[in-house]
A and B are shown apart, each in its own frame.
Chain A
């Protein structure tokens, strides 16, 4: 039996070594190790072997099985890798051919900036509030300390729907609508469409603004500066310089305009900043006592700041867009750049 096993091993190893393909290897596995294979066939004679020799024969048969098994595995692996290599070679691609790109949509530039601004202020505890595009004169002007004959109305060329009803010229009316609903603390941002009778390369009759309002018992001008500087550094980068200078708005006192160092020249002076090194970024100030009076807030107890910024302008500065009209042309060749 020993000789039989050894002879079988030799034959099997020879067959496997010369197998030319995976099918031959598989056939060899069936022939030698299969349930009805040669090894099993030989082991059927184990009963005729003496009890003393049986353990040795059993052991030997395992050695033979394992040797054939190993040979099968290694031959299979060798043949597989040759087959893989051949297939892979035939499947080689031209790396330089263009890939299939999934089609890519784009968020409108105005909303990209709006979302970013909202996120920055959300981190400071501000939430979004909204109001109607078509507003009463009361909310748009009167309640914001801008009565009918106020000269500040001249700078807001207003679209009228009927007497007393206008297209909002800013999103500031939202602050009044909010304050009417809750007592302080209030921390809101009001983004939205606004309208003015003005149309040229830098003015669109419809554009977008964000109004911000923070009111509580202890809000100061220093808080206003800190909040807006944080905002600028987040949106335009830490190196951007910020300047607050006095200005006039009917609904804030004191009022300020905030400039940022020019996004093109960094403050050295260029055509964009008219050589001043500064760009006007937004208007802001401490909420006017008259506005609080309309809101039913006690000026002795509460203070607050408000600011309003033109989203279009920020977007244009950031992406170096030369004319506001691009923003509302809805030309996909423009929109899909961003």
Chain B
């Protein structure tokens, strides 16, 4: 809401600087979005009086004027307008002036005649008036006065954000009331004294409220002999400052009173109402209405309308209808002021996708008492500005007036909640200053009646908030609470997840963070197995790309890897710890699990002057997966996987005992291409929740060797198809207790070993805790290993 400072001053005296006012409003909860100095873009424009008008010697459409702008001599201005005469006062921009849009006025020649400025039309100085020709000012304007001062353009506008609980703040009076309370000033609400004329309203029309729940109060007045025309300058200026466009005196008054009081009003062209009567009812299904914004809308049967005898003329509380719009030919108006149920207006407004000044106020809750004041205030203004006559009497359908709430506040509760001791007297003063009615006030508590405009106040805490606001949050002291011990640990794995994250980072991986969304196409492109294809679907996704909740992090990580390679990143090493989701029939909520996903691509070791780069391969990812398992104290077995996401021959499932813990491999070329990547990518995903159930116990001490190890290398030739890992396994089993470790240090295939054969070079480490081993000891063990390998795989010593 835009608050014009000069308009605000009509209701309360403000004698602090704009900066101080803005600060105080902020500390009251009226958040300042911006402070705008109006007229800042209009410089060096004055009230000028035209002294003479002569024809231009060389141009038919231009005249040459001498204009007095209060200086020593008049200025000569060439002008193309036609609507002025000698003696008229007009806004005059002199040489050096600037106008909205950064337009600068300079001395120049027009067809040989010097022009020392420009006389302005309304829109040229930033006014909303779009009429052609110069803006002719009032006769009593002071020549030489700054045009901003003359037109009231020197106003300051504070744009505030009104929180949804404070409908009453969406009005000038509401804001003024708050400031009056804060500064201890008087709140001036304009007095209304109506002069009613002519026939009683009951003889002219009738109002039937069919839906009292959605319309608890409906008021109306009829005004005759209305002269529709432009509004006076002051009214236009206020509306423009508030961000509205002046339309005509009737509409402008309803808008003005809405902004002043927060009570939305609507004026119908009474002559256009069928049957000259009002029916407040719900619409029928698909009932059409032409709304004021030029659209034809279809209503639903839970929307409240203001209808005449035949059809809807207004969507209640949201927008009026075009058919009964007040215009130039209007002579009689029916002026509506009502209270509509907030939830109903909110639903209708959302249902139609139509948000208006009215709907915003009604859906937050208008003030049912303000309806009466606003109606009379508007009637009086229309009477004055449109020389209308107000019919006698008022319609007021309000069978069950709202009963103001009563709230009790024991003073001690304020101290308990705020931690500051505010004297009971001060507590009472604050509450009363905001317009609450004191019912009872004694040594221990106050009982107050809550004004109906304050829908937000219904309990003790609400009053304490009022006291805290006016007392000023800055004045509440600061204390640090002592640490509390809660009886339960809520996220026992949090610390371990963090430790795991740091572990992965210590391995050189960078943490990725993808949105939790996915979509069918992405899962399809990633060729995920069928069990991942049924995802949790969003009813209102932002776009097709975020239509579902992800069932796996793999597609995202393939995408991340692909894009980074395409960006030219040489080494992609990333991981993500995050949630995945699956529909869960019969349960209230879908199933949510946590996964760790890994991606490797590009170079594993970067190029250095001492060595060349090494590209990532399968065994980098395998080693990484093994490290992850080891971090959680488990060892896994790999099995050939059937995921089509991965390339055949380079894909594995990870099994720990009976548990399938995850999958990894090299992304299949077709899949990579579907993610716009033509380079090798390795991706893994493991079940983090399962891993977190594994808690490695405290590692137990093992004797630190005191005798030196003895190492032996053993190269054997076996059939190519023999898995090297099995040779390791069998060697470890057969090497006896002196064999401490066995590893593969070379694999070789080629002519030397024969077709279909390969050489596997094992490195065996022997050690004893009791003595230094002799060659005989180790040879005995090596022989046993070799015998076993010969037996099982027909291995030949190379």
Cβ-defined contact, B508 with A127, below 8 A: no
Q: Pick from B309-317, B497-505, B726-734, B780-788 the stretch touching chain A.
A: B497-505
- Shortest distance from the beta carbon of A156 to any chain B beta carbon, whole Å: 11
Cβ-defined contact, B572 with A332, below 8 A: yes
Task: Tell me whether A107 and B502 are in contact in the complex, defined as CB-CB below 8 angstroms, given that A134-B589, A226-B481 are known contacts.
Answer: yes
Q: Is A47 an interface residue (CB 8 A)?
A: no
Docked complex Cα distance between A219 and B488 (Å) = 20
Give the total of B residues in contact with A, Cβ under 8 Å.
Answer: 97
Give the total of A residues in contact with B, Cβ under 8 Å.
Answer: 90
- Using an 8 Å CB-CB cutoff, how does the interface string of A138-182 with B read, 1 for contact, 0 for none? 000000000001111011000111100101000000000010011
Docked complex Cα distance between A165 and B592 (Å) = 14
- Shortest distance from the beta carbon of A232 to any chain B beta carbon, whole Å: 12
Q: Pick from A23-31, A37-45, A62-70, A244-252 the stretch touching chain B.
A: A244-252
Cβ-defined contact, B516 with A128, below 8 A: no
Contacts of A102 in B (CB 8 A): 508
Q: Is A87 an interface residue (CB 8 A)?
A: no
Q: Is A130 an interface residue (CB 8 A)?
A: yes
Cβ-defined contact, A128 with B491, below 8 A: yes
Taking a contact as CB atoms closer than 8 A, the residue among A105, A188, A255 that contacts B511 in the complex is: A105
Q: Tell me the chain A residues, 103-150 only, with Cβ under 8 Å from chain B.
A: 103-108, 110-111, 115, 118, 124-125, 127-130, 132-136, 149-150
Cβ-defined contact, A160 with B538, below 8 A: yes
Docked complex Cα distance between A223 and B461 (Å) = 17
Q: Is A97 an interface residue (CB 8 A)?
A: yes
Q: Tell me the chain A residues, 266-292 only, with Cβ under 8 Å from chain B.
A: 274, 276, 286, 288-289
Cβ-defined contact, B491 with A245, below 8 A: no
Q: Is A225 an interface residue (CB 8 A)?
A: yes
Docked complex Cα distance between A155 and B469 (Å) = 23
Q: Pick from B21-29, B243-251, B526-534 the stretch touching chain A.
A: B21-29
Cβ-defined contact, B571 with A111, below 8 A: no
Q: Is B166 an interface residue (CB 8 A)?
A: yes
Q: Pick from B229-237, B319-327, B341-349 the stretch touching chain A.
A: B341-349
- Shortest distance from the beta carbon of A56 to any chain B beta carbon, whole Å: 47
Q: Is B221 an interface residue (CB 8 A)?
A: no
Cβ-defined contact, A254 with B461, below 8 A: yes
Q: Tell me the chain B residues, 643-696 only, with Cβ under 8 Å from chain A.
A: none
Cβ-defined contact, B29 with A245, below 8 A: yes
Contacts of A181 in B (CB 8 A): 488, 490
Q: Pick from B48-56, B183-191, B561-569, B627-635 the stretch touching chain A.
A: B561-569
- Shortest distance from the beta carbon of A230 to any chain B beta carbon, whole Å: 6
Query: B164, B416, B574, B581: which has the most chain A beta carbons within 10 Å?
Result: B164
Taking a contact as CB atoms closer than 8 A, the residue among B364, B418, B494, B589 that contacts A221 in the complex is: B418
Docked complex Cα distance between A327 and B456 (Å) = 38
Cβ-defined contact, A161 with B536, below 8 A: yes
Cβ-defined contact, B461 with A286, below 8 A: yes
Task: Tell me whether A133 and B592 are in contact in the complex, defined as CB-CB below 8 angstroms, given that A128-B494, A327-B513, A333-B567 are known contacts.
Answer: yes
Taking a contact as CB atoms closer than 8 A, the residue among A152, A216, A288 that contacts B461 in the complex is: A288
Q: Is A336 an interface residue (CB 8 A)?
A: yes
Taking a contact as CB atoms closer than 8 A, the residue among B504, B539, B571 that contacts A161 in the complex is: B539
- Shortest distance from the beta carbon of A167 to any chain B beta carbon, whole Å: 7
Q: Tell me the chain A residues, 193-236 only, with Cβ under 8 Å from chain B.
A: 193, 195, 197, 199, 204-206, 214, 216, 218-223, 225-227, 229-230
Contacts of B502 in A (CB 8 A): 107
| B515 and chain A: residue at smallest CB distance | A206
Q: Is A331 an interface residue (CB 8 A)?
A: yes
Cβ-defined contact, B542 with A108, below 8 A: no
Query: B465, B573, B590: which has the most chain A beta carbons within 10 Å?
Result: B465
Cβ-defined contact, A185 with B484, below 8 A: yes
Number of A-B contacts (CB under 8 A): 258
Q: Is A98 an interface residue (CB 8 A)?
A: yes
Docked complex Cα distance between A197 and B476 (Å) = 37
| A225 and chain B: residue at smallest CB distance | B478
| A229 and chain B: residue at smallest CB distance | B478
| B559 and chain A: residue at smallest CB distance | A330
- Shortest distance from the beta carbon of B107 to any chain A beta carbon, whole Å: 36
Cβ-defined contact, A253 with B462, below 8 A: yes
Task: Tell me whether A256 and B592 are in contact in the complex, defined as CB-CB below 8 angstroms, given that A106-B510, A178-B490 are known contacts.
Answer: no
Cβ-defined contact, B574 with A246, below 8 A: no
Q: Is B363 an interface residue (CB 8 A)?
A: yes
Q: Is B711 an interface residue (CB 8 A)?
A: no
Q: Is B483 an interface residue (CB 8 A)?
A: yes
Task: Tell me whether A205 and B29 are in contact in the complex, defined as CB-CB below 8 angstroms, given that A151-B364, A219-B481, A226-B481 are known contacts.
Answer: no
| B542 and chain A: residue at smallest CB distance | A205
Query: A186, A274, A332: which has the most chain B beta carbons within 10 Å?
Result: A332
Task: Tell me whether A330 and B514 are in contact in the complex, defined as CB-CB below 8 angstroms, given that A134-B592, A244-B473 are known contacts.
Answer: yes
Cβ-defined contact, A125 with B416, below 8 A: no
Docked complex Cα distance between A225 and B476 (Å) = 8
Cβ-defined contact, A100 with B610, below 8 A: yes
Cβ-defined contact, B589 with A132, below 8 A: yes
Contacts of A226 in B (CB 8 A): 478-481
Docked complex Cα distance between A96 and B533 (Å) = 55
| B27 and chain A: residue at smallest CB distance | A245
Contacts of B481 in A (CB 8 A): 124, 214, 216, 219, 223, 226-227
Q: Is B698 an interface residue (CB 8 A)?
A: no
Docked complex Cα distance between A47 and B390 (Å) = 153
Q: Is A13 an interface residue (CB 8 A)?
A: no
Q: Tell me the chain B residues, 14-46 only, with Cβ under 8 Å from chain A.
A: 26-29, 31-32, 34
Taking a contact as CB atoms closer than 8 A, the residue among A243, A286, A328 that contacts B514 in the complex is: A328
Docked complex Cα distance between A186 and B485 (Å) = 7
Cβ-defined contact, A246 with B28, below 8 A: yes
Q: Is B419 an interface residue (CB 8 A)?
A: yes
Q: Is B486 an interface residue (CB 8 A)?
A: yes
Contacts of A152 in B (CB 8 A): 164-165
- Shortest distance from the beta carbon of A334 to any chain B beta carbon, whole Å: 10
Docked complex Cα distance between A254 and B417 (Å) = 9
Cβ-defined contact, B486 with A155, below 8 A: no
Q: Is B540 an interface residue (CB 8 A)?
A: yes
| A164 and chain B: residue at smallest CB distance | B588
Docked complex Cα distance between A310 and B31 (Å) = 19
Cβ-defined contact, B540 with A197, below 8 A: yes
Contacts of B418 in A (CB 8 A): 220-222, 254
Docked complex Cα distance between A223 and B343 (Å) = 36
Cβ-defined contact, B164 with A286, below 8 A: no
Cβ-defined contact, A246 with B538, below 8 A: no
Cβ-defined contact, B484 with A149, below 8 A: no
Q: Is A317 an interface residue (CB 8 A)?
A: no
Contacts of B507 in A (CB 8 A): 105
Q: Is B69 an interface residue (CB 8 A)?
A: no
Docked complex Cα distance between A62 and B539 (Å) = 102
| A280 and chain B: residue at smallest CB distance | B31
Docked complex Cα distance between A132 and B645 (Å) = 28
Q: Is B549 an interface residue (CB 8 A)?
A: yes
Contacts of A187 in B (CB 8 A): 483-484, 486
Docked complex Cα distance between A187 and B488 (Å) = 10
Cβ-defined contact, B480 with A227, below 8 A: yes
Contacts of B279 in A (CB 8 A): none
Contacts of B165 in A (CB 8 A): 151-152, 248
- Shortest distance from the beta carbon of B225 to any chain A beta carbon, whole Å: 41
Q: Is B293 an interface residue (CB 8 A)?
A: no
Cβ-defined contact, B464 with A254, below 8 A: yes
Q: Is A183 an interface residue (CB 8 A)?
A: yes
- Shortest distance from the beta carbon of B292 to any chain A beta carbon, whole Å: 23
| B470 and chain A: residue at smallest CB distance | A246
Contacts of A199 in B (CB 8 A): 542
Q: Is B295 an interface residue (CB 8 A)?
A: no
Q: Is A303 an interface residue (CB 8 A)?
A: yes
Q: Tell me the chain A residues, 293-336 only, with Cβ under 8 Å from chain B.
A: 303, 327-328, 330-333, 335-336
Contacts of A276 in B (CB 8 A): 32
Ordered nearest first, which 8 A-B pairs have the shortest CB separation? A125-B483, A220-B419, A222-B419, A246-B29, A248-B163, A103-B508, A129-B490, A254-B465
Question: Can you list 10 pairs linking A and B with CB atoms under 8 Å apart?
Answer: A133-B549, A136-B588, A216-B484, A226-B478, A246-B465, A248-B166, A255-B465, A330-B556, A330-B564, A330-B574
